């Protein structure tokens, strides 16, 4: 009998990944010669005009997770997955390469952070603005933690709750980066495009993602 040949890629995920990375490439090219996009100031002022109440404290918690703390958090995420399921560890380890990619792009573009002359600046952590490193980090780590730790292990209802929680955390982080004046909205969009695009690309490679996504027969 002839064995059925399986494509080495999950084509829908590959398509999504390439599309998001193409969007990121377009934003990067624009950022080379512009400190912000035409819509950045108006959107940032609108978000800063909202009274976010207790969420402001959460924004500051996210802001604390920067630099080496973010690096250690990523290493811890990989270690947890390796302990629970070592076969799934390569998936999150390759996904974590979104971090070095971000660092290289940020160092090349060197876009200044939002100016206090244009918007309210509550805090600047230093370094450069494009893309948002926090958003890149939470994009890959949240998605891959759910895939590696929950997919195929939790009932469908609990898995849906895990996905919803991850999406809410990412959304709050995105809003917080803009509210604090750390980033322009276009920096956040670029962070999402890079983080989710790279994650989708990694998930599309069956050699990496099969231990987590392949259904047991």
**pLDDT at position 1:** 45
- Is residue 35's pLDDT more than 90? yes
Amino acid 157: pLDDT? 96
Residue spans per domain, the chain: 73-212
pLDDT in tens, 119-172: 999 887 778 999 999 999 999 999 999 999 999 899 999 999 999 999 999 999
Per-residue confidence band for 191, with pLDDT thresholds at 50, 70 and 90: very high
Angstrom distance (rounded) from CA 16 to CA 139? 14
Region 92-120: mean pLDDT is 96
Which pLDDT value is given to residue 193? 98
**What is the predicted pLDDT for the residue at 124?**
78
Mean pLDDT, range 18-43, rounded to an integer: 97
| Distance between CA atoms of residues 119 and 41, nearest Å | 7
Residue 151 is predicted with a pLDDT of: 92
DSSP output for the chain: -PPPP--SB-HHHHHHHHHHHHHHHHHHHHHHH-SS-TTHHHHHHHHHTS--TTHHHHHHHHHHS-HHHHHHHHHHHHHHHHHH-GGGHHHHHHHTTHHHHHHHHHHHH-PPPPPTTTS--S---SS--SS-HHHHHHHHHHHHHIIIIITTTS-HHHHHHHHHHHHHHHHHHHHHHHHTTSS-HHHHHHHHHHHHHHHHHHHHBHHHHHHHHSPP-
Q: What is the mean pLDDT of residues 169-187?
A: 97
Taking 70 as the threshold, does the pLDDT of residue 216 lie above it? no
pLDDT at residue 65 is higher than 50: yes
Look up the pTM and report it: 0.94
Provide the pLDDT confidence category of residue 98 given band limits of 50, 70 and 90. Answer: very high
């Amino acid at each position: 009998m002839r064995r059925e040949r399986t494509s080495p890629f999950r084509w829908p995920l590959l398509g999504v990944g390439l599309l998001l990375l193409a969007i990121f490439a377009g934003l990067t090219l624009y950022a080379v010669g512009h400190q912000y996009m035409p819509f950045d100031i108006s959107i940032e002022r609108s978000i800063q005009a909202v009274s976010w109440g207790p969420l402001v404290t959460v924004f500051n918690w996210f802001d604390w997770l920067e630099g080496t703390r973010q690096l250690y958090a990523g290493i811890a995420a990989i270690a947890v997955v390796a302990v629970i399921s070592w076969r799934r560890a390569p998936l999150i380890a390759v996904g974590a390469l979104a971090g070095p990619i971000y660092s290289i792009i940020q160092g090349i573009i060197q876009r200044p952070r939002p100016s206090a002359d244009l918007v309210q600046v509550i805090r600047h952590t230093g370094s450069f603005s494009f893309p948002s490193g926090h958003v890149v980090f939470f994009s890959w780590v949240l998605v891959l933690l759910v895939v590696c730790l929950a997919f195929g292990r939790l009932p469908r209802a609990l898995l849906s709750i895990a996905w919803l929680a991850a999406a809410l955390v990412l959304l709050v982080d995105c809003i917080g980066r803009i509210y604090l004046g750390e980033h322009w909205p276009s920096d956040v969009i670029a962070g999402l495009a890079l983080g989710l695009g790279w994650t989708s690309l990694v998930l599309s490679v069956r050699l990496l993602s099969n231990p987590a996504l392949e259904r047991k027969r």
